[in-house]
Chain A
Amino acid sequence: MNAQQLGENIKQRFAAKVIDFETLGSDQLYVTITPDSLVEVAEHLYQDQGCRYVINGGTDRRQQRDAFLITHFFAQDEEKIYIAVHTEVGADDPQVDSITPVIPAANWSERETRDMVGVVPVGHPDPRRLVLSDDWPEDLYPLRYDVAHDVHPPPAEGVAPERLEPPEGASVVPIGPFFPVLEEPAYFRVFVEGEQVVGADYRGFYSHRGIEKLGCSVLTYNQVPFIAERICGICGYVHSCSYCQAAERAAGIEVPDRAEYIRTIMLELERLESHTLWLGIAGHIIGFDTVLMQTWRMREPLMWLCEQITGNRKTYGMNLVGGVRRDIKPEIYGDLRGVIDKIGDEWAELAEAIPGDSTLMARLQGTGILTPEVARARGAAGPTARGSGLAIDVRVDHPYAAYDRVEVNKCVYDSCDNRARARVRLGGTIDSINIIHQALDDMPDGPIMAEIDEELPAGRQAMSAVEAPRGEVFHWVLTGAENRPERWRVRAPTYANLQCVPPMLVGNALADVPISIGSYDPCFSCTERMEVVDVNSGQVRVYTEEQFRAEYDQPGAK
């Protein structure tokens, strides 16, 4: 099945409810449906067509259409198709049916759309603020075009987040708000009975920087890649790559072959940097600092190599719309192969030593269980999904850059624990090295940047995904006038993976909490919320400050 056929299927089934559909190549489908059919269509895609939920985004189109555009993105991994389901809601009544009751993975992003664009998801089980801070004014929606990119509402008093009382008899162990082992802002409060974790609450979104807004208001097409690269400090190249691919695809720009190979090599070098970094941190979390020292020692020559190729150890600054800025010169191939082979040899030794180390394994085995059902329902991506037996990998399922010309193994384990996620990364590292060798073998000569003679046409759209070290990075670009996107939507993999954390923590021993969180290799973005799991009912609730007060602020309950 290709995108055209899938579109026809949907059209046939939902008839007049499908206003229109169009395709981009054989692998991207854009369906526009009536607002009242959103839930049925979403459920059909998720249940009957076996699609995976990616994210939701909202676009303020009041200037063009007097409406808000709500878009749900799906992926059909077996058929290699990305699907965007558009629906327009009138500007005078900005409401849309929530699909979270049928697809739990839409939980965060529907609320984000409400926060940022002001379209209310009706019937959302948890319709409260997610991204904006508690003192942000009620009716100021930052992603609307009539809100300036740099508004700073005055801070309000008395909106400090209220704490949740733990369940009867349990004690609270706070981890954060500065997450100590990953040195990032995230706040977990773990409720324990003795050693046993019985619940957890999470607050995040402390570092929301409004990057999408910048991309649609003040930056130009060629400035965005550099800001996109700063979405993440460890794997930023995936974002600039994904953005550029989306813009290129939308405008119909053919990227030269050599540039595609260079992107592939840089992406894999970044994966090596990220996985070696992760293994070190994971060792550090469980108190095995030898692993930290050794993996980071192994990693350092790689950083120097990247500096030689790109001009910087990290945040390479290589991508522009149309190709890459710097070539990988043939003189450096030898060094490159040498450095990665050295890592490969030592990595293999390490990967062999680790499984025999029973103290180490005891920390990883059977801890932090994430079932495949929870992983799919909450949209898990990358090693987190592959450690729970879900065989998804964008490099294979939706090849981009030169991945259709190299061989990639999907590294999948199904023990669903911290060990499985570690093994996915251990194996993935060796695989990266093989991919780089293949790419160097086949790399064609030629230009590295496409000739662009005209400005990008407005009103075109494209999706692009990249398999980041942590999972699928997804970008959607709707081109606009004035040399910048009209809308640029980004999903980082941790956005999905983090939604899997609270249910995973319950039932662990407290000592296993840091490594369980660390096993996702989380890259915390942002929430001004708390998520609470009730161990007895398994129900997840999220509280606003008022509700906390109402429920827990009785006299004597402080």
Chain B
Amino acid sequence: MITSKLKEAILSLRPGRVTLKYPFAPHDPEGDFRGYPELDTDKCIGCGACAAVCPARLIMIQDIDQNTRRMVRLLERCIFCGRCADVCPEDAITMTKHFELSTDSGREDMVAECEVFMATCQRCTRCYEPANPLDKIMEPGFRDDEIKRGGQDSPYEPIQSD
């Protein structure tokens, strides 16, 4: 009994102090950490590949008219898997190391939107050549968003751009 307690005490004392100074000092994540997926809107061609593979189904595609495709990302649902970055043919998405994402200014902070000028695009999906047929675009052509169409009970209000 006593020896057991002694062994336990030694085990506890040996490592010394192990707590980190975080959050008072920065703590950088390791290696290829997958944090906030950042979109370079200048590069995005609106192909929709990211929306097709996103497991959280958070990338809504709204074809406002023939010329304009609006992509809305409800990133509060993001699970940081990085699949969107993997498949993007234009390398428009980067998984950053940014992980401190809580916000006091409402969900708008986690909603990212971009509008892409599509001109004469027929939405044929040929601009995205999936490396793996399982990652194909499921729904070519014009469309409204999948999450919203799912039912009137979708927790998400349609997002108005200003």
Contact = CB atoms under 8 A, between A and B. Distances in A.
B83 interface: yes
A222 B7 contact: no
B134 interface: yes
B31 A308 contact: yes
Contacts of A293: 12
Interface in A326-369: 326, 346, 349-350, 352-359
Contacts of A152: 151, 153
A103 B85 CA distance: 48
A454 B153 CA distance: 36
Contacts of B86: 325
B151 A290 contact: no
A307 B29 contact: yes
Given A150-B154, A226-B81, A454-B133, A312 B7 contact: no
A349 B9 CA distance: 11
A256 B83 CA distance: 21
Contacts of A230: 79
A308 B33 CA distance: 7
A123 B135 CA distance: 45
A379 interface: no
Contact of B53 (A222, A312, A452): A222
Nearest to A217: B150
Contacts of A227: 55
A456 B134 contact: yes
A226 B31 CA distance: 21
B82 A455 contact: no
A290 B57 CA distance: 43
Contacts of A222: 53, 83, 132, 134-135
For chain A, the bracket of interface size reads 35 or more
B112 interface: no
Given A304-B30, A307-B31, A311-B31, A322 B132 contact: yes
Contact of A312 (B15, B34, B150): B34
Contacts of B151: 148, 150-152
A62 B8 CA distance: 62
A304 B22 CA distance: 15
A317 B54 CA distance: 12
Nearest to A360: B4
A349 B34 contact: no
A95 interface: no
Contacts of A350: 8, 11
A220 interface: yes
B21 interface: no
A244 to B, nearest CB: 11
Interface in A278-337: 290, 293-294, 297, 300, 304, 307-309, 311-312, 315, 317, 320-322, 325-326
Interface string B13-52: 0010010000000000111111000000000000000001
A80 interface: no
Contact of A356 (B1, B11, B54, B133): B1
A294 B1 contact: no
B161 interface: no
Contacts of B53: 220, 222-223
Contacts of B135: 220, 222
Given A227-B55, A308-B31, A311-B82, A357 B4 contact: yes
A218 B12 contact: no
B64 interface: no
A223 B136 CA distance: 12
A453 interface: yes
Nearest to B2: A356
A325 B83 CA distance: 10
B5 interface: yes
A224 B54 CA distance: 10
Contacts of B55: 219, 223-227
Given A150-B153, A223-B53, A293-B12, A321 B4 contact: no
Contacts of B95: 311
Given A311-B31, A315-B79, A483 B150 contact: no
B102 interface: no
Nearest to A312: B34
Interface in B65-82: 79-82
Contacts of A456: 134
B113 interface: no
Contacts of A455: 133-134, 136
Given A311-B33, A483-B138, A294 B150 contact: no
Contact of A307 (B1, B30, B79): B30
Contact of B4 (A308, A320, A356, A454): A356
Nearest to B133: A455
B136 to A, nearest CB: 7
Contacts of B1: 356-359
A188 interface: no
A353 B4 contact: yes
B18 A150 contact: no
A221 interface: yes
Contacts of B29: 307
B160 interface: no
Contact of A353 (B11, B54, B150): B11
Interface string A206-235: 000000000000111111111100100000
A149 interface: yes
A357 B54 CA distance: 51
Contacts of B105: none
A311 B32 CA distance: 5
A346 B34 contact: no
Interface of B: 1, 3-5, 7-8, 11-12, 15, 18, 29-34, 52-57, 79-83, 86, 95, 132-136, 138, 146, 150-151, 153-154
Given A149-B150, A353-B8, 4 more contacts: A222-B132, A297-B15, A315-B79, A353-B7
Pairs A-B, 10 closest by C-beta atoms:
A356-B4, A226-B55, A353-B7, A152-B153, A223-B55, A308-B30, A311-B34, A357-B4, A317-B81, A308-B31
23 contacts: A148-B150, A150-B150, A218-B146, A220-B138, A223-B55, A226-B55, A226-B81, A293-B12, A297-B18, A300-B18, A307-B29, A308-B31, A311-B34, A311-B95, A315-B79, A320-B132, A356-B1, A357-B1, A357-B4, A358-B1, A453-B133, A454-B133, A455-B134
